[in-house]
Structure 1
Amino acid sequence: MDGMHYEGMIIRPPSEADSILLQVTIGCSHNKCTFCGTYKGVRFRIKDQDIIDQDIAYAARHFPFLRRVFLTDGDALIVPQPRLVDILQKIRRAMPWIQRVGLYGNAKSILRKTPQELAELRDLGLGIVYLGVETGHPETLRAIRKGVSRERLIEAGQRVREAGLKLSVTVLLGIAGREQSLAHAQATGSLLTAMDPHYVGALTLMVLPNTELGDQVRRGTFSPLTPLELLAELREMLAHTHMSRGLFMSNHASNYLPIKVKMPTDKAKGLAMIDAAINQQVPLRPEWMRAL
């Protein structure tokens, strides 16, 4: 065998850049969001166990210097509990040096796990769950076909935290369009306050041509925001976010202004930096440098 088995497009959070990527599912269990083009035409399924076992053995032989594992694809937490327990046990046996396992989970897959099941996964090495929130604005959640309510999102985030797992959430600047920008920013800030995650990553919407949202932009039914409007939205969102600790970041490659705010101590500094950018005292990342 000359490498790990990967199918399709593999995505991971920026913070998992130095992790072993172990693909346990193909695609995303929801796969209906209007803005996402990642798993178009891919039927969601869990990979064969013998392939996963081969990849764990390969990683153990070839990556003894890496300390983290990230389980892909879009929603590895949906894997039934006995299989997920088995995978984590095998990782631990084959690579006892691994310090943390991470995965994506959506609200539905998180809430399908009991608090006891999440604690069991934590005890076996799961350390962080990445949850794509996008927005806390009920109308926008429906418009982008997220398939979950604001209340359920908050409940899912709290369940992860109560299980003693790190919670990293992503929100999307610009996802509500121009008309709902302010409402989206404020509602997302209040959702983040209720959820109190360890990490928030604010990404900027990149409209992809092969998505429903791309069609809406072409038809003129969705108005993307200008860089300055996106900064105003980021400012409003941060102003309405009250976290007890952790980081609020917009350092993803899609963003015009990379910030990293330690909450709550650096919040005023972060707002001042956004204001400076709005007043054109701080240069923005040029268009050609932005990426998904």
Structure 2
Amino acid sequence: MSEKEIPNGFHYVGNCIRPPSEANSILLQATLGCSHSKCTFCGAYKDKRFAIKDRKHLESDLRFARHYCKRQDRVFVMDGDAFIMPMKHWKWLLGEIRDKLPWVRRTTCYANLKSIMLKSDEDLKWLYDNGLKAVFLGLESGHAQVRKDIRKGGTPEELIHHCKRLRKSGIKLVSIVLLGLGQTHLSMEHARETGRALSEIDPEAVSALSLMPLRNTPLGEAYEKGEFDMPDPLGIIRELRELVEHTNLSRGSFRSVHASNYLPIDAKFPRDKEAVLATLDQALAGNVQLKPEWMRGL
């Protein structure tokens, strides 16, 4: 490739969000925004409407990555639920990654329930066999009423069924759950039902975040008006303890290391479960310092 053929850099539109574990990955923006974009708590993609980007931009991005990103052996495909792309787009993209970036070991992306439901078992297996090795899913809650209240879409039963399908294909699943969504009156039920769903799905990793109401969201507006009863910090820790107690993984990680959390946990289940419960009991007894409010963030 001559110098004149080398592009200036990646083509990004709007805010770009990726999981903390993908910090050193090649970030390839194949879609814009989120195809669902109805969750009452989420303000992540308010700056753009969902669309699949023109291939000419991806071709340019891949040329840039081929020249400059030989130390990065992972690709994270953005935006909010790139998994929703039809198979013809995935087949083209994974083929291009394989041909242009042969040193890449695995490709990952965000997904939602709808995007998994739209893929057949054969589609899921093809994606895994051709490089898509893991997805990050905003599970949020396993409680039917909470899911309805936040407009997440789908029932807990549908969530469990289709996540099991995904895992059966070989694709690893990182499930993201959100503490505080049940308000104070459903806090413990939200935690228990979410733990039950996680136990049924048995994902490779669970990441727990704590709700931070955003003003540019329906939930944030309700919070400002006093119509959403957010648990206090100890209430969030009680909810986290209930979630941990009811989450049984055959083998996987359980983390609450996101900046939104009051207490970081980085554990392996089932090995560390009892130790995590003991730490949370100490926090509830006032013997473990919680992160102050001003240090929390998204």
1:288 CA drift (Å): 2.1
Rounded to whole Å, the distance in 1 between the matches of 2:27 and 2:236 is: 32
Residue 230 of structure 2 is aligned to residue 224 of structure 1: yes
Unaligned runs of 5+ in 2: 1-6
Rounded to whole Å, the distance in 1 between the matches of 2:291 and 2:227 is: 27
* Count, aligned residues: 292
Residue 272 of structure 2 is aligned to residue 266 of structure 1: yes
Identity %, equivalent residues: 48
Under a length normalisation based on structure 1, what TM-score does the superposition of the two structures give? 0.98
CA deviations 1:25-52 (Å, max 9, x no partner) are: 0000000000001112522100001111
Number of the residue aligned with 1:157 = 163
Number of the residue aligned with 2:66 = 60
DSSP-derived class of the 2:37 partner: coil
Residue 16 of structure 2 is aligned to residue 13 of structure 1: no
Residue 4 of structure 2 is aligned to residue 4 of structure 1: no
CA deviations 1:54-83 (Å, max 9, x no partner) are: 101111111100111000000111111011
DSSP-derived class of the 2:59 partner: helix
1:157 CA drift (Å): 1.2
Residue 52 of structure 2 is aligned to residue 34 of structure 1: no
Unaligned runs of 5+ in 1: none
DSSP-derived class of the 2:138 partner: strand
Number of the residue aligned with 1:181 = 187
Structure 1 segments of 4 or more deviating over 6 A? Answer: none
Number of the residue aligned with 2:120 = 114
CA RMSD of aligned residues (A): 0.9
Number of the residue aligned with 2:251 = 245
Rounded to whole Å, the distance in 1 between the matches of 2:103 and 2:71 is: 9
1:156 CA drift (Å): 2.0
Number of the residue aligned with 2:262 = 256
DSSP-derived class of the 2:287 partner: coil
Residue 17 of structure 2 is aligned to residue 24 of structure 1: no
Rounded to whole Å, the distance in 2 between the matches of 1:278 and 1:105 is: 34
Whether the 8 Å CA contact 2:15–2:47 is kept in 1: the answer is no
The structure 1 residue matched to 2:75, chosen from 55, 69, 94, is 69
Amino acid at match of 1:73: D
Residue 82 of structure 2 is aligned to residue 83 of structure 1: no
Rounded to whole Å, the distance in 2 between the matches of 1:96 and 1:196 is: 32
1:147 CA drift (Å): 1.4
Number of the residue aligned with 1:172 = 178
Number of the residue aligned with 2:100 = 94
Decide which moves more: 29-38 or 149-158: 149-158
